[in-house]
Amino acid sequence: MRLRLSSWARCMGLAAFLSQALPGAGLAATVEVNPIRLELEGGAKGVVVTVRNQGAETARFQASIHTWTQDEGGRMSLQPTQEVFFFPAMLTLEPGESRPIRVGISSAARDRERSFRLIVEELPPVGPLPPSMGLKILTRVSIPVFVAPLRKDVQARVEEVDLRQSRFTFRVRNPGTVNFFIRQARVRALDAHGQRVVEHEEPGWYVLPGDSRAFALEASAEHCPKIRSLEVEVETDQGVYRQSAPVGSSESCGVPGVP
């Protein structure tokens, strides 16, 4: 799969995470990367990601690799690492030129998949540019890199479905050995007759092995008192997972229970 930077920001889980404004040309360089997700096997077998300069000016890029962890809200934490090797670290591309970056890992596979991010970021142009050119937007692309485990075990569980203090809450847990990506999470609230009262949808993100993603969606004051049960449906790149739960407590809509 091939993606240009202009489309990259619209692709969930594969977004370009940073732009910086510097004196220089008017717009960001148009960068094409292919593929937009890397899968590595243990034992030094590498893969290639191709970076192409689609802009009209010469552009310089720098690559780096980082370990990738995240919290239950999907916020990433990246730390530099030497566990994954790559070459080259610096690229200078003329307009229309493309170059490969080779990525690999020499260590053996482990019980659980390992997650990294390959960062390809544009460097400032060399030398001053005419101030009449306006602003130069430097691009930064973040590519997920997954190192395969000894055994691939895809699992997803929807847990802790509840309505409390006028909020729908649930958790999507990954007890497997590989990641999955939540495309969409839906919660449907039903009344005492099983009729749909309200439905909410929210986009998701990667859930790495051993991690979970927590969701909390507001229930309106108008609809909340009518709700007697919840149905949660989580659409992932590995399948659809569902869970339901009854709602009965007066505390569900922010009303304290009677002692």
- pLDDT given at position 34: 95
What is the pLDDT, as a whole number, of residue 259? 41
Evaluate whether 213 touches 207 at the Cβ level (below 8 Å). Answer: yes
- Using CA atoms, how far residue 256 sits from 85, 193, 220, 252, 253, in Å, is 57, 25, 17, 9, 9
Look at residue 135 in the predicted model and tell me its pLDDT.
Answer: 64
- Tell me the sheet residues that pair with 224: none
Residue 248 pLDDT: 74
pLDDT at 101: 97
Query: For the segment 67-81, what is each residue's pLDDT rounded down to a tens digit?
Result: 999 999 999 999 999
Give the mean pLDDT of the chain.
85
Percentage of the chain beyond pLDDT 90 is 68
Beta bridge partners of 101: 49
C-alpha–C-alpha distance, residues 103 and 1, integer Å: 17
Residues of the chain with pLDDT under 70: 1-29, 43-44, 127-136, 249-250, 255-259
Q: Answer whether 45's CB lies under 8 Å from 70's CB.
A: no
pLDDT value of residue 125: 81
The domains of the chain, with CATH numbers, are 3-147 (2.60.40.10), 157-253 (2.60.40.10)
Query: Exposure pattern of 41-54 as b/e (b: 16+ CB <10 Å)?
Result: ebeeebeebebbbb
Supply the pLDDT for residue 16: 35
Nearest 10 degrees: CA dihedral of 79, 80, 84, 87?
140
